[in-house]
Amino acid sequence: MTQSKKLLLIDGNSVAFRAFFAMHQQLESFVSPDGLHTNAIYAFNNMLDIILKEVQPDYALAAFDAGRTTFRTAQYADYKGGRSKTPEELSEQFPYLQELLKDRGITPYQLSNYEADDIIGTLAREADEQAWDTSIVTGDRDLTQLTSDHTTVVITVKGVTQLEKYTPQHVEDKMGIKPSQIIDLKGLMGDTSDNYPGVTKVGPKTALKLLDEYGSIENLYDHVDEMKKSKLKEHLIEDKNQAFLSKKLATIDRHAPLTLGLADIPYTGDHLEELAEFYRKLNFKSFLNKLQPAAGDDGANPFAGQLHEYTELTAANLAAALKPTAPQAFEIEMLDDNYHTSPIVGFVLGTPGHWYVSSQPELLQTDAMHAWLADESRRKYVFDGKRNYVAANRMGGHLQGLEFDLLLASYLLDVNNNSNDLGEIAHSYGDMDVQTDAEVYGTGAHRSMPEDANVFYQHLTQKAAAIYQLEPDLYQKLKDHEQDQLFRDMEMPLSVVLAEMEIAGITVDAERLKKMGAEFQQTLKVLEEKIYNEAGEKFNINSPKQLGVILFEKMNMPVIKKTKTGYSTSVDVLEKLKSYSPIIDDILNYRQIAKIQSTYVEGLLKSILPDHKVHTRYLQTLTQTGRLSSVDPNLQNIPIRLPEGRKIRQAFVPRQDGWEIFSSDYSQIELRVLASISGDTNMQEAFKEGRDIHANTAMKIFGLDDPSQVTPNMRRQAKATNFGIVYGISDYGLSQNIGISRPEAKRFIAAYFEQYPQVKEYTEKSVQIAREQGYVETLFHRRRYLPGIHSKNFNVRSFAERTAMNTPIQGSAADIIKVAMINMQQALRAEGLQATMLLQVHDELIFEAPSAEIETLKKLVPKVMDSAVKLAVPLKVESAYGPTWFAAK
C-alpha cells in the first residue's frame, strides 16, 4: 500500500495579516538594511518552519487574494466594504513574501476575480477526491467549513506560531454545528468584518438555536410559516433574501477555474542558495544560521560571517579565559526550568572575539573559577542572574559582580514581553544572531542536547554574544524610561536576595504532612459515601461535568450560572443551592478537603528534596505589576483562611531545634499607598491617627459620628468597598462581592468618593495618564503599558481603566517590599545574625531564627520594613512567631 500524498495549502493573506499584527510592537525593530519592514515575513517564516516540519508535504501552495474586486463584489457591491486600507508597512512585504515562499519550495498563486479561500477550496476538493491528506493553514475560522475526513484546517492563534487543528469533529465540538453548516450560520448572522448583513437581530446564539432546530437555511425557510408569531419570525421573513445572499457570499467556491492543478505544485524544499541570499538581503541572521549546508558540502558553515568563533575551555586555557578585566558575559546552561535540580550541561564566558565554552560543569568547581566567580571586580553580564547564582552555588561557587542582567532589563522595559528565552528576547530587540532554546533543544519531552557538540557550543557562544551586544542598547532604554535606578538598585540586587532565599529553602515536616494526609483520606472516604448515597449513584465528584449532570439534571436543581462548556458548579453557585439538598454541603466539604489533600499534602510532599526542604523559585519577571510569583512549589498560596487548610502550616518548621519561625507583615499596605499617592487628606488622617481604616470608612459612608455605631456588617461592607477601590471599582463588581443591589453599590461608591474626594481624583487621573502616555507607573517608575485603554471594545477598555487605577497601587506596594527585602538582607548580615529570610508573600516576610534572636528580630524587622520608603502616611508592620509557620501569625 502506498502512503497517500500530503498537500499543504496556505491562506497567504490571512496568515500575513496575523503575522503582521502579532509582531506589530516590533515593527520598527524589524527593518532590513534598505528600509523594508520585515516583521510579517519573519513571523510568517517562523510559522513555515513549524508547519513544514509537522506536515512534511509532497505538494504545497500559498494562495493570495488577487485584488478587491471578485465575483462576490459583483453579487454584493459592499462585500468587504468599509475595511480599512492595508497598512503600507504590510503591503510592501507581500512581494518579498512571495519570493520567500518560492525559495522555500512553495508555489505562490493568485487568480483574478477569486479570493484565496476559493483557490484553497478548489485544490482541497481535488485532493480529497484522490484521498490525499490536506492541511490548510489560515487565521480565518470560516475556512473550517472545508474540514473533512482528509482535510484538516490549522488555525493560527496568539500570533502565528501557535496552531490549532480542526477536524470535522473539532468543529462540531467547538462550534456546535457541522462544518457544512458554517455557511448557514454566516447566512443568518452575517459577518461584520466582511460587511454583509444576515438577518436583523440574529447573532451567534439565535443562529445556533435555529440551526439546531432546522439544520439549514433552506429547511428553515421551508418551515418559517409554522413558527409562532414573534419579532424573530418577522425579521426572518423580512430578511429572507439577505439570508440567502449572505450564505452565498460565505460559501467558498470549490470549482474555481484555476490555471494550475495539483501536479503543478510539488513541494521542492528549501532552495538553499536563493534562500540564503534572501535571508542576507533581509538581515535574517538567525534563519541564516539555521540553514543546513547542502548535501555534498564539506560541512563547513557557508555563513561563517554570522557566527562567532569560540574556544573550548580546558584546564590549560582557563587562566587566559579568566584574565580580562572588562565585563564578561557569563552563562551556565541547564535544560530544565528548575535550576535547583536540573543537570548542568555546560557554560560559556568571555568578551567579544574571545568566547570560551565548556560542556564540563566540573570546571566550575575549580579554584580558579571559584575565585573569578566571587571576585566582585570581575563584572558579569548575564541573562537571569538568579538562575546563574543558584547554579554557581551548586558548584560550590559564589557568583558576585553581577553588572547587567538582560532578562531583568527586558522585563522592566516591557512587562508584557515576559518571555524568559534569551533568543526570543534578543529577536524582539532586533538581534537575529541567536536561536531560541526551543529551536536548539526542542520542547517538552523532546528537550535534549543537540547530537553535535558544536551546535551546542555555537548556541552558547551566540547567547553570550547577544547579551554583550544588547547591553548598551537596553541600558540606554532603561535610562530613557528613568528606570536605571529601578534596575540597578532594586531588581539587580533583589535577584541575589531571592537566590539566597531560594537556596536556603524552608524545612517541611513530611511525617506531619503524611499523618494529616491519612486523616484527610478518611474524611474524604466518608464524604464520598454520603454523596453517592444522596445522589443515588456513584460518579466522579471531581468532574464538574458529571457533578452538573447529577445536580441539575438528575436532582433538578435550578441552574444559577453557565460556563462555556456546561453548568457552573463553583462555590458561589453551590452556596445558593444549599437549601435544596444536604448533598451541597457535603460536596463543598469534599471539595475543600480534596483541594488540601491533592495540592498541599500530596503536591507539597512531591517537592521536598533530600535536605527535607522545599526550594521554591520566585519568578521575578512575570507579573504585570511588579509582584513576585512563586512556583515549584508555590509557597505564596499556602492555606490560612479556613482552619482545616491552615493546619498545613504546622508542617513548615525551622531547620533545627531551638529555632523558630518569625513573620512580619505590612498592615494594609495598598490602602496606605493609595492614601499617599492620591494625597487624600481624609484617608491620610485616618492612618496618621492609627484608626481602624475599615471602621473609619464605614462611619463615613454610613454617615455615623461615633465608632461604636459601626456594626460588624457595616465594617465588612466598608472593607469590601476599600478593596473595590484598589481594584478599580465598578458598582456591579461591588454588588456581587457583598451581595447588595447594584443601585445600592452605586450609592456606596458615591458616598465613598464624597468622603475621600482625592481618591476619586486619583482614579480619574490614572485613567487620564494611561490615555495620554499609553502607560502607568509605580512610585519607583515601574511601567505597564495599557494598549487596551483606546480600545473600541467596552470590555477591553474597561479592563485597561481598572488596571490603570490598580497597577500603581499594587505595583508600588510590590516596590516597597522589594526595597525592604534588600535592606533586610543587608541588616541581617550587618548585625551578624543567624536569622535567615526564607519567604515573601507579597506583603509579608518569613524568617527562621534561633530563639535567642527573636527579641532582636521583633525590633529589627519592623524597623527595616517600615523605613523602606517615606510615604505621606506611616507604614505599619505586625509580627508574630512560634515553633511552626502555623503559630507565626
Partner DNA sequence: GGAGTCACG
Partner DNA sequence: ACGTACGTGACTCCA
Rounded to 5°, the CA angle 488-491-493 comes to: 75
CB 476 to DNA: min, Å:
27
Nearer to DNA, 70 or 620 (CB): 620
Grid coordinates standing for 618? 520566585
**Across 258-307, where does the E strand assignment appear?**
none
- Do residues 245 and 76 lie in contact, with contact meaning Cβ atoms separated by under 8 Å? yes
DSSP 579: G
Residue from 589, 599, 650, 856 binding DNA (CB under 7 A) = 599
Q: Burial, 770: exposed, middle or buried (Cβ in 10 Å; 0-12, 13-18, 19+)?
A: buried
Enumerate residues 544-583 that contact DNA by CB under 7 A.
544-546, 563-566, 568-571, 574
Interatomic CA distance for residues 667 and 653, integer angstroms: 24
Quote the crossing angle between the two packed helices 272-282 and 94-103, to the nearest 10°: 150
137 touches 152 (CB < 8 A): no
Cα–Cα dist 856/238, whole Å: 83
Positions 420 through 449 that interact with DNA (CB under 7 A): 444
Instruction: Please report how close the Cβ of residue 172 comes to DNA at its closest, in angstroms.
Output: 9
Q: What count of other Cβ atoms lies within 10 Å of the Cβ of residue 157?
A: 14
Q: How far is the CB of 263 from DNA (least distance, A)?
A: 36
Cα 539–chain centre separation:
34
Gap between the Cα atoms of 255 and 257, Å rounded:
6
Cβ count near 650 (within 10 Å): 16
Q: Which of 53, 205, 231, 606 binds DNA (CB under 7 A)?
A: 606
Q: Which of 493, 504, 496, 611 is nearest to 836 (CA)?
A: 504
In this complex, which beta carbon is closest to DNA, that of residue 39 or of residue 597? 597
Phi-psi region of 876 (alpha: psi -120 to 50; beta: other; left: phi over 0): beta
- Told to check if 603 binds DNA by CB under 7 A, we report yes
Smallest distance from the beta carbon of 535 to DNA, in angstroms? 15
Q: Does 454 bind DNA (CB under 7 A)?
A: no
Using the minimum distance from each CB to DNA, give the nearer residue, 125 or 141: 141
Nearest to DNA of 596, 828 (CB atom): 596
Q: Which of residues 269-328 bind DNA (CB under 7 A)?
A: none
* Closest CB 608 distance from DNA, rounded Å: 12
Report the C-alpha gap between 162 and 47 in whole angstroms: 8
Candidate segments 400-408, 420-428, 622-630, 862-870, binder of DNA by CB under 7 A: 622-630
Gyration radius (Cα) of the chain, Å = 32
Secondary structure letter of residue 537 according to DSSP: S
User: How many residues of this chain bind DNA (CB under 7 A)?
Assistant: 77
Site string for DNA, 669-698 (x = CB under 7 A): ------------------------------
Residue 410 interacting with DNA (CB under 7 A):
no
Determine how β-strand 836-840 pairs with β-strand 844-850: antiparallel
DSSP 37: B
Q: Which of residues 805-824 bind DNA (CB under 7 A)?
A: 806-807, 810
Which residue stretch of 138-146, 204-212, 592-600, 861-869 sits at the interface with DNA (rule: CB under 7 A)?
Answer: 592-600
Shortest spacing between CB 670 and DNA, in angstroms? 8
Among 72-80, 491-499, 769-777, 795-803, the segment contacting DNA (CB under 7 A): 795-803
The piece of 350-358, 430-438, 590-598, 655-663 that touches DNA (CB under 7 A) is 590-598
Q: How far is CA 7 from CA 120, 134, 141, 153, 765, in A?
A: 11, 5, 19, 12, 56
Set of cell numbers at residue 830: 550587618
Judged by CB under 7 A, does residue 384 bind DNA?
Answer: no
DSSP character for 196?
B
CB of 779 to DNA, least distance (A): 17
- In terms of CB distance, is 90 or 839 closer to DNA? 839
The residue range among 36-44, 99-107, 175-183, 600-608 that interacts with DNA, by the rule CB under 7 A, is 600-608
- Per CB under 7 A, which of residues 713..772 are in contact with DNA? 720-721, 723-724, 727-734, 737-738
Give the Cα separation of 330 and 463 in Å (integer): 9
Least separation in angstroms between residue 165's CB and DNA is 11
Question: For DNA, which residue of 25, 161, 342, 634 counts as binding (CB under 7 A)?
Answer: 634
Tell which positions 138-177 bind DNA, by CB under 7 A: 162, 170, 173
Sheet holding 876-882, edge to edge: 836-840, 844-850, 659-667, 876-882
The least distance separating DNA from the CB of residue 885, rounded to whole angstroms, comes to 11
CB of 648 to DNA, least distance (A): 9
872 counts as binding DNA under rule CB under 7 A: no
Contact residue for DNA among 598, 713, 741, 867 (CB under 7 A):
598
Q: Give yes or no for residue 624 binding DNA (CB under 7 A).
A: yes
Q: Tell me, what DSSP letter sits at residue 332?
A: E
Residue 328, beta-bridge partner list: 380
Question: Alpha-carbon distance 618 to 498, whole Å?
Answer: 7
Instruction: Give the distance between the most distant pair of CA atoms in the chain.
Output: 93
The stretch among 374-382, 485-493, 790-798, 851-859 that binds DNA (CB under 7 A) is 790-798
Binding test (CB under 7 A) with DNA, winner from 60, 321, 638, 718: 638
The residue from 592, 620, 836, 879 that contacts DNA (CB under 7 A) is: 592
* 84 interacts with DNA by CB under 7 A: no
| Run of H or E residues at 613 | strand 613-614
Q: Which of 255, 595, 859, 863 is close enough to bind DNA by CB under 7 A?
A: 595
**Where would I find the H helices in 108-167?**
116-129
605 vs 833, beta carbon nearer DNA: 605
DSSP string covering 545-611: HHHHIIIIIIS-PPP--B-SSSB---HHHHHHHGGG-THHHHHHHHHHHHHIIIIIIIHHHHT--TT
Task: Say whether residue 630 binds DNA (CB under 7 A).
Answer: yes
Q: Find the part of the chain contacting DNA (CB under 7 A) among 147-155, 395-403, 484-492, 839-847.
A: 839-847
- Helices and strands counted in the chain (H then E): 38, 23
Q: Which is nearer to DNA, 223 or 578 (CB)?
A: 578
CB of 146 to DNA, least distance (A): 19
Nearer to DNA, 727 or 881 (CB): 727
